[in-house]
Amino acid sequence: MTTRAFDAAVTALSEDSWLPTAEETALGREFFARREMVAPRVLPGMPECREATGWVSQHVLWLEDVARLTHGLLEPWRAYLPGSHMVALLEGYADQARAAAPLAARLTRAWQTERPDPCSYQEAVWWEEWQLPEEERQQIDALTHRLIRVGAMVVVAVERGEAACAR
């Protein structure tokens, strides 16, 4: 995905110059349906988090899974919808989420070599605090906010496409 294609999709959506086709709308709906089915993944042997938000590492692994899912979903659609703004938006989403992959790999390696066995809840808290300092957590938060914005654009595109199909 090029930044240019993504920017063009955002511009077309914000200027109301793009009305998603039925196929683009179906792609957007399929993305949301599949993303909703991505189960939270914890590192093996990590205790259940007592916080409603879950472990930070769990969120990083989820981002990695969503990037992989989105890339796989788009594979057949790229040729079917060349130049599609919906494909560009979803590629932008996948690219953003993919930024978490190196961190997910690092956390997985660190957990495999460092985790106490068995691991108590408090030990898992300390491990995450050690592995994910505040600056890195802020970067994850910023990445998540960017994904929320891109996801909101996909929602708008799907809603416009559905409204157009309903007419």
* Mean pLDDT across 103-118: 91
| pLDDT digits 0-9 by tens, 14-37 | 898 999 999 999 999 999 999 999
- The residues spanned by each domain of the chain are 3-166
pLDDT of residue 163: 87
Burial class (CB in 10 A: 0-12, 13-18, 19+), 81: middle
First to last CA, the chain: 32
Give pTM, 2 decimals. Answer: 0.91
| pLDDT digits 0-9 by tens, 60-84 | 999 999 999 999 999 999 999 999 9
Compute the distance between CA of residue 35 and CA of residue 39 in angstroms, rounded to an integer: 9
Predicted confidence band at 10 (pLDDT cuts at 50, 70, 90)?
confident
CA 106 to chain centre: 18
